[in-house]
Amino acid sequence: MLLHGSTAGRAAALGCHARVSRVAADVPAGTAGRAAGAPALGTQVRELLAAAGIESDSDPRRDFDHGIFIPMKVSFPRADIPILQLSLQAGLDPAHHLAIGRALRPLRDENIAIIGSGLSFHNLRDLGNPALNGPAAEFDQWLTRTLCESPPLERAAALRRWAAAPHARACHPREEHLMPLMVAAGAAAEDPGRHVFAGHIWGKTVSAYQFD
């Protein structure tokens, strides 16, 4: 859903996808065309989280989730940058995930991309229901205004109260595909968001954002 930072210099990517656990997986390199893991970055991430009072765990055996390998395969088909997968924390508290992002903010200064992989609309049961086309567009408009126009403090406050946004629960009956956004927005600090993609899936408006 969101991407900020750069992969120049110290090339690595930290991906946060909607898989509820408290595991940060260090995935080893495998066959040709498979991205290497980033165990040293995993240690650094856990240190940053611990410094912010956030518990975490690691699992070197866990493989890439589809929410990591699909967008990374499209973005980096040569699989030439290491990747660290960071899962969501149980409870799906938006304030907690914003705090995770704030704790990881220093990584952006090291040319590490922080990618929040999810979807701005994720109601699979009603994905083909045209009655939700309008509500999806209204929620997307709220999301775009919040990320791209609101001052940082107001943005964070609005994201903490995302469930009060127009048609929020119609678009996200369960919020695990929205929480990666909170991590990315938290890591953005004072940077405004840019609306870098707008499209439709079966009539439902979907968007992507970037923080520079």
Q: What is the pLDDT of residues 139-189, one digit of tens each?
A: 999 999 999 999 999 999 999 999 999 999 999 999 999 999 999 999 999
- Residue 205 and residue 198 in contact, taking contact as beta carbons nearer than 8 Å: yes
Question: Which domain does 177 fall in, by range?
Answer: 2-211
Helix orientation angle between 152-160 and 94-104, rounded to the nearest 10 degrees: 140
Task: Give the pLDDT of residue 12.
Answer: 53
Helix orientation angle between 179-188 and 94-104, rounded to the nearest 10 degrees: 40
Calculate the alpha carbon distances from 22 to 15, 165, 169 in Å: 14, 27, 24
CA–CA dist 160, 150 (Å, integer): 14
- Residue 127 and residue 173 in contact, taking contact as beta carbons nearer than 8 Å: no
Task: Give the pLDDT of residue 28.
Answer: 43
CA–CA dist 116, 129 (Å, integer): 27
- Residue 135 and residue 170 in contact, taking contact as beta carbons nearer than 8 Å: yes
Helix orientation angle between 179-188 and 152-160, rounded to the nearest 10 degrees: 160
Which residues of the chain register pLDDT less than 50? 1-11, 18-32
Task: Give the pLDDT of residue 47.
Answer: 94
Task: Give the pLDDT of residue 65.
Answer: 83
- Residue 26 and residue 133 in contact, taking contact as beta carbons nearer than 8 Å: no
Q: Which CATH number do you get for residue 106? A: 3.40.830.10
Task: Give the pLDDT of residue 33.
Answer: 58
**How many domains does the chain divide into?**
1
How do beta strands 12-20 and 2-4 pair?
A: unpaired
Kindly tell me the sign of the dihedral angle through the C-alpha atoms of 6, 101, 117, 182. negative
pTM of the shown model:
0.85
